[in-house]
Amino acid sequence: MPKVRSFTVLPALPDPLKALEIIAKNMFWSWNPEFEDLFKRIDSDLWAACGHNPVKLLGTVSQQCLEDLAENQGFLSELQRINEKLKSYLDGTTWFEQVCSKQEKPVIAYFSAEFGIHESLSIYAGGLGILAGDHLKSASDLGVPLVGVGLLYQRGYSRQYLNIDGWQQELSVENDFYNMPIELLRNQNDTPLTVTVQYPERNIQAQIWCVSVGRVKLYLLDTNIEANSSADRLITAGLYSGDSEMRIRQEVLLGIGGYKALQTIGIAPTVCHMNEGHSAFMALERIRHLRSSMNMTFDEAVAATKAGNVFTMHTPVKAGLDEFTPELMDRYFGHYFPDLGINRKRFLELGRIFSDDDNESFKMPILAIKLSGYRNGVSKLHGQVSRAMWSALWPGLPVDEVPIISVTNGIHAKTWLSPEMTDLYERYFGPDWIKKTANKTVWGEIAQIPDEEFWRAHQRSKERLIIYARNRLKTQMQRRGTYHTELNWAEEVLDPEALTIGFARRFASYKRGNLLLKDPHRLVKILNDSKRPVQLIFAGKAHPRDTEGKEIIRKIIHFAAEHDVRRRIVFLEDYDINMARFLVRGVDVWLNTPRRPMEASGTSGMKAAVNGALNLSTFDGWWCEGYRQDGGWVIGSGESYKDTDYQDLVESQALYNILENEVVPLFYSRSADNVPRAWIKGVKKSIEWITPQFNTHRMVSDYTRRFYNPSMARWNYLAAEDMTKAKELSIWEDNIRAAWPEFAVKDVKIELGKAQVRQTNLKQPCLKVGSQLNVKALVKLAHISPDDVSVQLYHGSVDTWGNIKKGSAIKMDYKESSDQQGEHWFVGSVPCTQTGRHGMAVRILPFNPDLVNPYELGLVLWETTVDRASLVAANN
């Protein structure tokens, strides 16, 4: 094979156009349409042909065109204006500086396996990546001091096309890094900056690329370099490709290599945020680094780093999470145990639910949960599901108290909002409305927009969608070899005046993309109503190995052909960010049909809502919080079914009923000027409620207030004075764990005043509302100080099995020591505020103000018999 000496060719921009390169290499342009318009102005056809990639455009456009633009005063004036806007944005005062200016700035490292910023940077597969991209954009807008860490894949997620039978085929397209809006980091001697990661029997190297996302930097690792073997160069070959071994190799690079890359660049993060469990090995490398640099034990390093780690989980089912066999972990981490200062058993326990099960696989989310101080699901429902799913990690703790909270996802509004709606909002809310996306007062003004103007803006977006869909269909048909005479029908597909429903997402079986097809006769009747027609636009990919998902797509294609509704049902191939923009901006209704509670959050419906569409969804994910009766529809009421076929039947019928009796009549109810005023009223209610709640400005500010700033403060506190506090906390934790087996609730005494109690023939006394139950508890703490525990009264209403439902805890006060050494009396009172049967139990938790929360050690001790504390409260 001949030796190839590579070199890079850069665009030769005339001096007056130098700012174009600066603008092109900061992806701020990707959420500012006027920036994109500047590049379109260079050559609109070439802009489309380059995949909306300004770097590739500048490297492809003719030199003569550039020379002409350098003398075009109109273009130069616009270029200067755009460049000044970028500078003003980068230098401007931010929300973070205004709200958090009194605090020291944290350095937040946000790790994710994928980032969906723009279609020109193809390193994303779906919702997880889109969310990560929107997270970076809002962090930039708000000035949150964050850097992203990910992998630079030679091939992005597979491209999709359908064969003549409607069966999904995949195509891999190589990314051309040197014609993308990214830059290779280099040393002072101009050689690429690299990081070294140890793999079984060898080291691999990765070079580091940088993407500028407004004020935020995203660092991406790439192993496709000559220093690596051909096998190791494939580690970053493709997103979510290969078997379990390839997955662990990628996740070692992301977590361990990603953290090392930050150190190499000179960034020392105070807070590390893991977006899903793919990057959980980062927590191990942070521990290893601290041990080696500060001469700490493993437990001491855990105590310190845990306080600075945040973990966001996205998947509501265990089957969808990454896990590796013990044998695979031995291969990739056998050398790593000594670096951490622990043995194999202790290491594998970090990724297991049950420490005594030697056959249990090593689970990445378990590792992230155990080594993070802050954990969250991505909607309120997902938080509940996650607490139940991982409750075994906190044995004896009521599910409601499992320390996993929720921060509901959002969208970056400016990225997804149509130009028409943007202009409309600017006209009526003012030019700075976008900076106040999370401000409810701004959206309270939505009613002042005249219905006629609002409808015209939405219709223009809808017309854009239909033109786009027709062009895509023609391209799809030509690729399949359709006769030229048959292409004409594509010009007639879809009606700009018809009710348009969009369904676009990953085609997994639980998302039920074929739910609408359950009753063909009924659906065809809805679609073909001559006075009130309905049309459906489908898009989305099945995983390359998901045969069931591919079959759903095939059924949609066959349904449209067999029932002669090809003008009413279209499937657009190769769903990506660009197509998503057209869809969420142009449809009238966004349809979402997951089986509850399989949708962790979902964000596509949020994007449609801000553009003036109404949501029609099952009661799952974010829609549990987003649904309002006057601004959308819900399929069912969140019921649970054991028989999924029966569930599909019931919910498909409910879907047809909603369409026939509510959606269609409301859409076609028109005033004399043909404006659907009742429909628009619902749309405005939806926008007013959904937009300020479900956007990433609100989401990132929540993360900042609830996680980033507290995490930074706790990290700084524990790290002060050469980690003195962290070492003290570790020693305290060891002492608590060692003494815990000796702890006991020895006695509980209930004191009832005669005036409080009404005598009954029940075994338990009856208390009157307004009284209180006074309790004394004798607890054995061995040599541990009473200050190091929290003795609590856990109380609440009792179910028919005698279990406390949705209880709450009251801290008992220390009273005195008993005659027995190591035993102490605590006192407390339970207020009787409601009638009914209630229960109370005494429990002990470790207490230390340096813990992130009282459940961190996973220790809770209950009184073993609670019957005598079961009480009945009554009215006078």
Looking at residue 215, its pLDDT comes to: 98
Which runs of E-coded beta strand occur in 73-116? 108-111
- Among positive and negative, which fits the CA dihedral 685, 622, 138, 307? positive
Looking at residue 6, its pLDDT comes to: 60
Alpha-carbon distances, residue 156 vs 86, 151, 362, 603, 667 (angstroms): 29, 11, 27, 21, 40
Looking at residue 620, its pLDDT comes to: 96
Question: Mean pLDDT in runs of 10 for the chain (876 residues)?
Answer: 61 92 97 96 96 96 95 97 97 93 83 97 94 98 97 91 94 92 95 97 96 98 96 94 93 98 97 97 98 94 97 83 95 95 96 92 97 98 96 95 97 97 95 90 94 98 97 90 73 94 95 96 96 97 94 96 94 96 98 94 97 97 96 92 93 98 98 96 98 97 97 94 95 97 95 56 70 93 96 93 90 93 95 89 96 94 64 45
- Whether the predicted model's global pTM rises above the 0.85 cut: yes
Residue type, 4: V
Q: Which residue has the tokens 């009223």?
A: 681
Written as one string, the DSSP assignment of 440-490 is HHHHTTGGGS-HHHHHHHHHHHHHHHHHHHHHHHHHHHHHTT--GGGGGGG
The SS3 assignment for 52 reads coil
Looking at residue 764, its pLDDT comes to: 67
What's the count of helices (H) and strands (E) in the chain, helices before strands? 31, 31
Query: CA 322, CA 361: separation in Å to the nearest integer?
Result: 10
- Among positive and negative, which fits the CA dihedral 115, 116, 118, 121? positive
Q: Which residues pair with 792 in a beta bridge?
A: 811, 843
Phi and psi for 197 in degrees, rounded to 5?
A: -130, 135
Categorise residue 526: left if φ over 0, alpha if ψ from -120 to 50, beta otherwise.
alpha
Query: CA 144, CA 596: separation in Å to the nearest integer?
Result: 34
Task: Tell me the two tokens of residue 100.
Answer: 């958090």
**What's the pLDDT tens digit per position in 370-417?**
999 999 999 999 999 999 999 999 999 999 999 999 999 999 999 999
Query: In 10 A of CB 261, how many CB atoms?
Result: 25
Nearest of 622, 552, 546 to residue 590 by alpha carbon: 622
Which runs of E-coded beta strand occur in 525-644? 534-539, 569-572, 589-592, 614-618, 633-635
Looking at residue 506, its pLDDT comes to: 92
Written as one string, the DSSP assignment of 627-659 is --TTS-EEESSS---S-HHHHHHHHHHHHHHHI
Task: Tell me the two tokens of residue 262.
Answer: 């930050």
**What's the pLDDT tens digit per position in 84-136?**
999 999 999 999 999 987 667 889 999 999 999 999 999 999 899 999 999 99
Instruction: Give the number of C-alpha atoms closer than 13 A to the C-alpha of residue 776, restricted to the C-beta side.
Output: 11
Written as one string, the DSSP assignment of 156-208 is -SPEEEE-TTS-EEEE--B--GGGSS-EE-B-TTSPBPEEEEEETTEEEEEEE
Q: Where are the alpha helices (DSSP H) in 241-392?
A: 244-252, 258-265, 281-294, 298-306, 326-333, 337-340, 344-349, 364-370, 380-389
Please say whether the beta carbons of 379 and 409 come within 8 A: yes
